[in-house]
Copies of this chain bind each other. A is one copy, B any other.
Amino acid sequence: MTCADGSADVAAEMSRHGGNLAAARRAFPRAPEPWIDLSTGISPYAYPFGDLPSACFTRLPEADAEAALLGAARAAYAAPADVAIVAAPGTQILIQLLPRILPARRVAVVGPTYGEHAAAWIAGGSAVTEAPALDAAGDADVVVLVNPNNPDGRLVASADLLDEAARLARRGATLVVDEAFVDVIPGASLLSAGLPDNVLVLRSFGKTYGLAGVRLGFALGSADRIGRLRALLGPWAVPGPALEIGRRALSDTDWSKRLVGRLVADAEKLDALLVAAGLRVVGGTPLFRLAEAPEAAAWFDRLAAAGVLVRPFSYRSDWLRFGIPGEGDWARVNAVLSG
C-alpha cells in the first residue's frame, strides 16, 4: 500500500463515526476525486425539498411551524394519539439528553452498536454494560436497544420488545429504542404496536431522506418524559429550514414508499458485488450492508486509495460497513471491488 501510514490514522478516526471525508482526503491524498462516501448509513437519494421561503432563515422558528412538523412526523411514524413527541436538531442531542431525564445507576446497551449511546450514559455518570442481547440486560435501570441494530441490522420483533418492556416495567426500568434505521423496514417500528409508558423511541430524519446536514430527530414517549426533553431543549431548538424541510418530506408518503423499494433493490445489488469480491455479507438494513472478511483492513485501504470511503470498526477488524452508492457511483465501486 502506498498510503499505509495514513490509513491507520484514518481508520481509527473513521472507527468512531463515518462521514469524515476530510480526514480520508488527508490520509489518501492521491485518491481520485470526487470521493464516494459509503462510510455512513445515509441514503444517496436526497429528498427534493424544493425552494425554501426566506422566512425560514430570517425569522425565529414559530410554534405553528413546529406543530406542523410534529403533525407530519406523527402521521409518517403512525404514532398513537396518546404518545407525546418532540423534535430536536438531530437525534444525537436527544441521546445526550436522555441521562438527564432518566436517572440511572446501571445502564445496559445491547451491542455492539452505535457508540454514542454508551458514551452519553457514561458522561452522565451511569455504570454502562454492553449486553449481548435484549434479555441479557441484568438489573439495569435503563436498557438501550438500537433496532434495527447498527451495524449488524439485527431486528427485534415488536412483540418481543413489548414483552421485554413489560418485564422492565415490573421493576421500574425503562427501555430506550433507537429506531434510527427503521423507516426503511415497513412494519418494524414499535410505534405501530403502541408504546408502553416505560418505553422511549428515537427516530431520525436525515438518514432516510438523505439530508443528514439538516439535523433533525424526534423522541416519542410519555407526556411527562417528552415534556422534560422539550424543556431541556428550550425554545427555537429546531432551525427554520429543518422545520420546513422535515414537514415537506415527512408528508410525502408516496416518495418514501418508492424509496424503500429502490433501497431494497440497491442493497441486493451491493450484496452481489460484495459476495463476488469474496466478502461475506453478515447483516445490514436497506441503508447499509455489513461485510465480513479476514482481509477487511486491506479492503479498506484498497477502497480508500480508489476514493471510496467505507466504515471500519475498532472492535471488529474483520468488519466493514458499506452505505448504498449513489446512482452515478456504482461503476467505480464495482471497479474497485472486482479489481
Residues of A within 8 A of B (CB): 17-23, 37, 40, 42, 46, 49, 54-64, 89-90, 92-93, 95-96, 116, 123, 206, 210-215, 231-242, 245
Contact = CB atoms under 8 A, between A and B. Distances in A.
A22 B64 contact: yes
Contacts of A20: 62-63
Contact of A213 (B17, B57, B64, B237): B57
A238 B242 CA distance: 12
Contact of A55 (B40, B206, B213, B233): B213
Given A57-B213, A211-B57, A215-B89, A62 B241 contact: no
B58 A236 contact: no
A96 B64 contact: no
Contacts of A233: 93
B242 A239 contact: yes
A304 to B, nearest CB: 17
Q: Which of A22, A60, A116 has the most CB of B within 10 A?
A: A60
A57 B210 CA distance: 8
A210 B239 CA distance: 14
14 contacts: A17-B235, A19-B60, A42-B58, A46-B58, A56-B213, A57-B211, A60-B213, A89-B89, A96-B234, A116-B234, A213-B239, A213-B241, A214-B239, A241-B241
A46 B54 contact: yes
A84 to B, nearest CB: 20
Nearest to A40: B60
Contacts of A232: 96
Which 9 A-B residue pairs are closest in the complex by CB-CB distance? A213-B240, A19-B60, A215-B239, A22-B64, A60-B212, A46-B58, A57-B213, A89-B89, A96-B234
Given A20-B63, A22-B64, A59-B213, 7 more contacts: A18-B60, A42-B59, A46-B58, A49-B57, A58-B211, A116-B235, A214-B239
